[in-house]
Structure 1
Amino acid sequence: MGPAAPTATAPPPTRPTARRRALPWAVLVLWIAAVALAVPFAGKLGDAQRDNIVDYLPASADSTQVAKVEQALPGGESTELVVVYHRDGGLTAADRAHAQQQVEGINGAHEFDGGAPRGIPSKDGTTLMYPMSTTAPGTDNDARIALVDDVRERLGADPVEGLGAELGGPGALATDMEKVFETIDGTLMVATVLVVAVLLVLTYRSPFLWLVPLTVVGFAAVASRAVVYGLIQGFDLTVTSQSAAIMTVLVFGAGTDYALLLVARYREELRRVEQPYDAMLAALRGCGPAVVASSGTVAAGLLCLLAADLNSASGLGPVGAVGVVCSLAAMLTLLPAVLVLLGRRVFWPLVPAYGSEPKRGRSLFAAMGSSAGRRPGAVLVSGALLLGALALGVFNLPGNLAQEDTFTERPESVSAMKVLAEAYPDRGSQPISIVAPTDKADQALARARGTEGVAAAETGRSGGGWTEITVFAKDAPESAGETATIEALRAGLDGSHVGGPSAQQLDLADTNARDQKIVIPLVLGAVLLILMVLLRSLVAPLILTAAVVAVWGAVMGLGGLLFEPVFGFSGLDPSTPLLSFVFLVALGVDYGIFLMHRMREESLAGAEPETAALTALRTTGGVIASAGIVLAATFTVLMNLPLVPLFEMGFLVAVGVLLDTFLVRTYLVTSASLLLGRRVWWPGPLSRRPAGKPGPATRAAREPQPAGDTR
C-alpha cells in the first residue's frame, strides 16, 4: 500500500521551512547590526538639542529679529541678571553695606557691561536691586550656567539673618529652565519604560511576553534618536528638549499600541493556523493595513506642523514623524521576527493551542456593544451632549502662560522676579530690547523715551549697522500695561525691531493663533485623505474625524475647569491648543481605524451591518482599550516633569485618549455605524449592495474572540 496522502495540517516541505526560519533570523540580525551602529549617534542627540530662545520663537517675529541682531553685536548675546536684596521690615544700613560689598565682589570676578552695577532702592525701602548685563557667555549655555551658579554661590556666602539675597532676570530664568531640560531625557525615559512595562505585564499576564514588545520599542527609540541626530547634522534641523521629550513618548506610546494590535491578532491566528510563521503572515495581512494607516495619520498630522511659523512647533513635526515611522518599522519587521522565532511558548502560561477555542464569556465590550445596539440614537445623542457640555469649559481657560509661571515648582529666579514686581510697581524689572539702525539710533531713543509707559531708556552696543536700546517699562513684566507699551513702541519706531522676554511671549501667542488657522485645516485634510483611501468611504472618515475633533473640544474644556481652579496654573502655554489638537486627532483616529477596518473586514466577509459593527467592537475592543490605556499612561509621564507646558500637554492628550477609547470609539462611533447601516461606507461598493453570504471557511476565520481573552 502506497504512502498516505498528505493532510491539510501536514508540515510544509523542508526547503520552504528552512527559508522561513532564515528570514526571521535575517531580520533580527539586521536590526541588531543597525542598532549597534545607531547607539553612538543616538547618545549624541542630547548634546545636539538647542534650547536658545530663537529656537522656540516664531521665525518671522519682531522679537526673533532682535535676538538674531543681538547675537551678531559685539560680544554676542547679552545675559541680563538682577541681584535682589529684600527684608520685610525694611533694609538696614548694615544690609545695604553688605549688599554693596557682595556686588563689588561679583563685579570683580566677572565682566559686566557699563561698569560696576548700581543699586536701585524701592520706594518702600524693603528692596534693593542691582541690574547687571554681560556679553561674556554669549550663546554658550554652559558659560551662562557657570556665571549664574557662581553669582548665586557668592550671594549665599556669609548670609545675614532676615535678609533675602536672590538672583533673577532673564539670564537666571533661562538657566533654571536649562537645568530642568537637562534632567528631562533621563527621567522621561526611565519613567516611560517602567509605565509601559507594568501595563504590558498586566495586559499579557505572562512573565516573558511583555519583554518582547518593550525590547522592540527600545530598539525603535534608539533608531529614532540616531535618525534625528542625522537630520540635525545633514539638514540643520532644530530639535529642542521639548521636541525630543515628546518624541520619546510617541515612540513608546505608538509603538506599544501597534504591538498590542499585532500580538492580539497573532494570538487569534495561532488558534487557526498551525505554523507560527503562517499565523504571523495572516496577522500581518489582517491588521497590517490598519497599523500602516494609523501610523500614516500620525506622521502626516505631525508633518503638517512644518507649515507652522513657530520654530519649536515646525521642528517637532519631522522629529515626531521620525519616531512614529521608526516604531512602525520595528513593529512590522522586528517584532514579527522575534515572535516567530520564539514560537507559541512566548505566551506561556496562556498558550493559544492550534485548534483550540478562545475562552467564552460575556466580555465588557460585548455588553457595551449590546447597550449601544439597543438604543443607538439615544446613546449617540447622550454622548454628543456630554462632550458638548465639557467643551463649554473652554470659556474658563486661563490666559497665556507667563514665562515666570512656566515651572510647577518656583525656582529662585521666579521668586526674585515676584519680589521685584511687588517692590517696584511703577517700574518693570525686565528689559525691553530695541535694535535700531545706527544712523537712526538717536531718533529711536528719543521716541522710546517719549512713548507712554516707558520709565527709562538708554543706548547700548552698536555694530553691523545696528544699535541696541534698552528700555524699562513702568508696568510689571507681561502685564497688560507692559504689553501696551511694547505695542506702542512697535507702532512708533519705523525700521526698528522690539524684542526682549515679554515681547517674545507676545509674539509666541500671536504666532500660535496664526498657526492654528493654517495647521488645523491641513491636519484635518491629511487625516481625511488617508481614511478615505483606507476605508473606501467618505462617510466613515467624516464620522471618525468629527469624533476626534469633539474629543479635543471636550478635553480643552476640562482644561478650563481644572488648570487654574484645581492645579493652580495661572496660564495656558500658547502652543498647547495646537499641539494637543495634532496629537489627539492623529492618535485618536488610530483607534477609529482599528475599529472601522475590522468592521469593513466583517462586512466584506458577508456580515450584516449591525453584526459587523458589534463583532468589530467585540474583537477589537479589548486591544483598543489596552492600547488606549498604554498611550494615555505614557503621556501622563509628562505630567511628572516640572514644567507647566508639558504637564498641560500630558494631561490633555492622556484624558483625550481615554475619552476616545472608552466613550467615542465604544459608544458613539458604534452607535453612528448602527444608525447608518451600509450608508456608513458611502460611496464605496459596500454601501450599494448587500455583502455575500460567507462560506464555512470564512465564518471560521472570522470567529470573534471576546475582548480580554489572553489564552
Structure 2
Amino acid sequence: MPWLVLGLWIAVLVVMAPFAAKLADVQQDRAVDYLPASADSTQVAKVQERLPGGEATEMVVVYHREGGLTAADRATAARQIGRIADAHALTAEPRGIPSKDGTTMMYPVASTEPGSNEKARDRLVKEVRSVAKGEDGLGVDVGGEGALGTDAGEVYDSLGGPLLYTTAGVVALLLILIYRSPLLWLVPLGVAGMSEFLAQGVAYGLNQGFGTSVTGQSAGIMTILVFGAGTDYALLLVSRYREELRRIERPYDAMVAALRGCGPAVLASSGTVAAGLLCLLAADLNSSRGMGPLGTVGVLVALAAMMTLLPAVLVLLGRRVFWPLVPRYGSIPKARRSLFAAMGSSAGRRPLTVLAGGAVLLGALALGVLNLPGSLKQEDSFTTRPDAVAAMRTLAAAYPEQGTQPIAVITPADRADATLATIRGTQGVDDAQKGRTGDGWTEISVTAVNAPESAGETATIKALRDRLDGSYVGGPSAEQLDLKDTNSRDRKIVVPIVLVSVLLILIALLRSLVAPLILVVAVVAVWGAALGIGGLVFGPLFGFEGTDPGLGLLSFVFLVALGVDYGIFLMHRMREESLAGAEPDTAALTALRTTGGVIASAGLVLAATFAVLTNMPLVQLVELGFVIAVGVLLDTFLVRTYLVTSAAVALRRKVWWPGPLSRAPEPPVRNEPQPERV
C-alpha cells in the first residue's frame, strides 16, 4: 500500500509538471488587474487599449541637477532625447518642460512599439534607460507609468525563487531543531516541496478553467501556506506516530493508529481554514477574490500530501528515520515536567485573574491601530527605490505647482467638447486636452493642480466623477483610489461572512455554543493586537510611509482561519478528555499539557514562514507577513496557553453548553442489598 501511494503521487507530479511551470506566465500585477471590472479606472484602461495608440508605453525622462541645469546639461538632454526619437517610433515629438526653479527638465516620451506585450515594454524601457544617462553630476531617471510597470514587474518576478528558497530554508532549520534528527526533517520538507509543485499546477488549472486571477501576492501566499500549514500537519502526525510506535510493533499499524487519532482534528482544522479563505470569493477586488481559491489550494494540497504521501514515506523508511532518538517498541518516554504543564497550572489556579490580565494586554496593544500610517501610495510601495519612483519624487519636488501624472478621462466622442468644458471648470484642474478618439470614445488628458495621490488630487478625481455623468475617470492615481474604496467595501462584506462561517463550523465540530464563541472572540482580539503592534513599528521602526489598504481584510481572514485552526487542536483534545470522564478543569489542563508542545512547534513554523514575507521588496507583503507572524505568535503563546485554557477552567462544564458535556454526569445507581425473606 505505501508503495502504491508513492507511485500515484509520482504519476500525478509528472502529469502536472507542464502546468506548474506555466503559473508565472499568467500572473498579472498591474494595479488595474487587481481592481474589479466595475471600477471607473478599469473601464478607462479597457477603452484606452482600443483607442488608436492606446497600447502606448508612456515614460518620463527626468534630468536634474541640484544647483540648476547648465547649458551643457540641456544640450546633453536634447542629444539623448534625439537619439531615443531616432531609434523608436514615438507617438509625438518629445518636448522638454523645465521646472520654475531651473533644476529639472522633464521629457514625456511614449511609443506604441511594444503594444500590449510586457516583455517588449520592458525592452523599450531598458533601451531608453541605456541612452538616458547622467554625466558629470547630472542626474537622469526614467519614470512614468511604463517604467513603473517594468520596475514593479521585476520586483514581482523576483519573488518566486527567493520566497520559495527562503521559506524552505526556514522550515528546514526549524524542523532540525524540533526533531533533533539528521534524517527526519528531510521527509516533511520534501513532501512540502512536492505539494508546492502540485499546488502551482492546480492554480494554473483554476486560472485557465475558471479565470481565477493570479497575482504575485496570491502566488506568494499560496507558497507560504503550503509550507506553513503543511509542516503544521506533519508535526501533528509525526508526534502521534512516534507515540504509537512505542506501543505498536509494526510501523504500518502504528501509522494507521496515528491517522485515526489525529486525522479527524487535522481534517477539521484544515477544512475550517479552507472555508475561511473561500469567503474571500465574496470580495470585489480581483486580487483578494483570487487569493481565496489559491490559498485554499495551498491548504488542501498540503493536507492531501501530509495525510497520504508523508505516511507512506515514513512507513517505508521505518523506525530508523527517527535516529538517533528512535522510539523503541515497548519503551516508555522519560517523564518531564513541560513548560506547558507549568503554564497550565498557573492558569488553573487563578483563571479569572489570567483572563483579565490577558484582555487588558490585548486591548492595550490594539490601541496601536490608531498609529497606523495612512493609505500606501504607489511610489511608497517598494522597500527600495527603483528608478521610476526616484523620477516621481524628483518631479514632485521640482514641479510642486502642478500634477506630474495625468488623470485620464474617457468620454463619449459626441460629448467630448462639453465634457472638456466641464473638466476645465472643475476646481483643482490645471489643464485638460483632448487626445485620441476611436470606437465611439474620446480620451481627455487632465493635469491636476496638486501632486499625484495627494489629498488635493484625490478631491479633484472625486469632483470629476461627480460632475461627469456617463464618462469614466482613471489613470494611476484613480486606480489607487479605487483600490482603497474597494478594499473598504470588501471589509464590510467579507469580515461578517468569515465570522459567521467559522462560527457555524466550530459549533458543528465542537457541539457547543460557548466554546466556539470563546475561540472566535480570542482570534479577533489577536487580530486587533497584531494590527496594533504593526501601528507601533511600521512608521517609527520600518519607516513605511503608508499602510496597504488590503492589510486589514487579508490579515483578518488569515489570522481568524489559522488561529481557529490551533483552537480546534486544543479543544478537540479537551473534548476527548471530557468524554473519557475527566473533570472540566482536569480536561483543560491535560489538553494543554499534551498538545501544547506540538501547537507551539506548529505556531513557530507558521509564524516563521509568514515572517519570510518581511524580507520581500514590497511594503504590502512586509506588512502582511509581519502582522500575521506576530498574530500567530500571540495566539500560540498567550491566547491558546493562557486565555482559552483559563476560560475553560473558569467556565467548567458551561464551556460545552448546551451540549451533553455541559451537564454533570448522573451518579451511579447503588443497588442496596435486600433483606432475605423467611
TM-score for the superposition, normalised by structure 2: 0.97
Aligned partners of 2:404 and 2:447 also within 8 Å: yes
In 2, distance between residues paired with 1:333 and 1:521? 35
After superposition, give the CA deviation of every residue in 1:378-417 in whole Å (9 maximum; x if it has no partner): 0011001000000001111100000000000111111111
Read off the aligned partner of 2:526 and give its amino acid letter.
V
Q: Distance in 2 between matches of 1:690 and 1:326?
A: 42
Q: What's the counterpart of residue 84 of structure 2?
A: 106
The residue aligned with 1:273 is 248
Cross-structure match for 2:467: 492
Residue 59 (structure 1) shift: 2.9
- Once residues 388 and 675 of structure 1 are traced to their aligned partners in structure 2, the CA distance between those partners, rounded to angstroms, is 21
Instruction: Say if 2:67 is the partner of 1:89.
Output: yes
Q: Deviations over 1:551-600 (max 9, x none)?
A: 00001111111100110000001011100111101011111111000111
3-state DSSP of counterpart to 2:246: helix
- Superposed CA deviations along residues 618-637 of structure 1, whole A, max 9, x for unmatched, are 11100101000000110111
Question: Which shows bigger deviation, 71-80 or 454-463?
Answer: 71-80
> 1:429·1:477 contact (CA, 8 Å) conserved in 2?
yes
Structure 1 residue aligned with 2:19? 41
Q: Residue 351 of structure 1: which of 322, 326, 335 is its match? A: 326
2:153 pairs, out of 175, 178, 185, with 178
1:236 aligns with 2:211: yes
Pick one of 562, 575, 586 that aligns with 1:587.
Answer: 562
Match of 2:229 in 1: 254
Structure 1 residues 456-475: Cα deviation after superposition (integer angstroms, max 9, x where no partner) = 11111111111111111111
Does structure 1 retain, via aligned residues, the 8 Å contact 2:68–2:103? yes
Whether 1:79 aligns to 2:57 is: yes
Which among 29, 47, 50 is matched to residue 51 of structure 1? Answer: 29
Aligned partner of 1:132 among 109, 114, 118 = 109
For the 8 Å contact 2:225–2:299, the answer to whether it is kept is yes
2:406–2:446 contact (8 Å) kept in structure 1: yes
Give me the whole-angstrom Cα distance separating, in 2, the residues matched to 1:534 and 1:236. 33
Is 1:364 matched up with 2:350?
no
Listed one character per residue, the Cα deviations across residues 256-311 of structure 1 (whole Å, up to 9, x for unaligned) are: 00000111111112222222222222221221111111111111111111111101
Alpha-carbon separation, structure 2, partners of 1:629 and 1:81: 45
Matching residue's letter, 1:90? G
The corresponding residue for 2:650 is: 675
Name the SS of the counterpart of 2:517 in structure 1. helix
Q: Which moved more, 1:506-515 or 1:457-466?
A: 457-466
1:155 match: 132
Partner of residue 453 from structure 1, selected from 428, 435, 449: 428
Give the match's secondary structure for 1:618. helix
- Separation in structure 2 between the aligned mates of residue 613 and residue 219 of structure 1, nearest angstrom: 37
The whole-number CA distance in structure 1 between the counterparts of 2:503 and 2:123 is: 51
Distance in 2 between the 1:582 and 1:257 partners? 18
The 8 Å contact of residues 32 and 479 in structure 2, kept in 1 or not, is answered as: no
Structure 1 distance, partners of 2:631, 2:212, is: 30
Question: Do residues 118 (structure 1) and 95 (structure 2) align?
Answer: yes
CA contact (8 A) 2:31 2:480 kept: no
Shift of 1:54: 2.6
Q: Mind listing any 5+ residue stretches in structure 2 that lack a counterpart?
A: 669-678
Distance in 1 of aligned mates of 2:209 and 2:567 = 37
| Residue 534 of structure 2 is aligned to residue 559 of structure 1 | yes
In 1, Cα distance between equivalents of 2:419 and 2:89: 28
| 8 Å contact from structure 1 (residues 75, 136) kept in 2 | no
What CA distance in whole angstroms lies between the structure 2 residues aligned with 1:382 and 1:264?
32
Distance 1:51 1:301 in 2: 24
Match of 1:6 in 2: none
Which of 395, 404, 409 matches 2:370? Answer: 395
1:290 and 2:268 correspond: no
Question: Using a 3 Å threshold, how does the CA distance of structure 1 residues 442 and 518 change in structure 2: closer, same or farther?
Answer: same
Change (3 A) 1:180 1:439: same
Distance 2:294 2:56 in 1: 30
The residue type equivalent to 1:238 in the other structure is S
Q: Distance in 2 between matches of 1:136 and 1:487?
A: 33
TM-superposed CA distance for 1:53, in Å, is: 3.1
Give CA-to-partner distance per residue, 1:322-359, whole Å, 9 cap, x none: 11110011111111111122222211111112222121
Paired residue for 2:610, among 617, 620, 635? 635
**C-alpha displacement of 1:691:** 9.0
SS for the counterpart of 1:272 is coil
> Structure 1 residue 652 and structure 2 residue 630: aligned?
no
Query: Shift in Å at residue 138 of structure 1?
Result: 2.9
Q: Give per-residue Cα distances to partners, 1:66-109, cap 9 Å, x unaligned.
A: 11111222234332211111111111112111111111111121
Alpha-carbon distance in structure 1 between the residues aligned to 2:462 and 2:274? 38
Distance 2:615 2:421 in 1: 49
Paired with 1:165 and 1:692, the residues of 2 have a C-alpha distance of 87
* Aligned positions of 1:680-695 closer than 5 A: 680-690=655-665
Secondary structure (helix, strand or coil) at the match of 2:480 reads helix
1:473 aligns with 2:451: no
- Partner of 2:601 in structure 1? 626
Shift of 1:692: 9.7
Q: What is the rounded CA distance, in whole Å, between the counterparts of 1:606 and 1:326 in structure 2?
A: 37
What secondary structure sits across from 1:429 in the alignment? Answer: coil
Q: Distance in 2 between matches of 1:387 and 1:598?
A: 26
CA distance in 2, matches of 1:290, 1:469: 59
Corresponding residue for 1:603? 578
Does 2:527 match 1:549? Answer: no
Which stretch of structure 1 is more off in the superposition, 676-685 or 275-284? Answer: 275-284
What number of residue pairs does the alignment pair up? 668
The residue that corresponds to 1:503 in the other structure is 478
Tell me whether 1:145 sits opposite 2:122 in the alignment. yes
1:428 alignment partner in structure 2: 403
CA contact (8 A) 1:402 1:505 kept: yes
2:43 maps to which of 53, 65, 68: 65
Distance 2:485 2:665 in 1: 53
* SS across alignment from 1:456: strand
Contact 1:606/1:692 (8 A) holds in 2? no
2:676 alignment counterpart? none
Residue matched to 1:521: 496
> Helix, strand or coil: the match of 1:461?
strand
User: Matches of 2:56 and 2:346 in 1, distance apart?
Assistant: 65
Which residue does 2:672 correspond to in 1? none
Give the structure 2 partner of residue 663 of structure 1: 638
Seen in structure 2, the aligned counterparts of structure 1 residues 122 and 409 have a Cα distance that, compared at 3 Å, is same
Aligned mates of 2:331, 2:589 — CA distance in 1: 23
Asked if the contact 1:631/1:657 (under 8 Å) is kept, the reply is yes
Quote how far apart the aligned CAs of 1:442 are. 1.2
What's the secondary structure of 1:467's corresponding residue? strand
Equivalent-residue separation in structure 2 for 1:484 and 1:691 (angstroms): 70
**Amino acid aligned to 1:50:** Q
Tell me which amino acid in the other structure corresponds to 2:604: I
Say whether the 8 Å CA contact 2:63–2:106 is kept in structure 1.
Answer: yes
Aligned residue number for residue 184 of structure 2: 209
Deviations 1:655-702, CA, capped at 9 Å, x for gaps: 100000000000000000000111111111111233999xxxxxxxxx
- Deviation at residue 137 of structure 1 after TM alignment: 2.3
- 1:555 is paired with a residue whose SS is helix
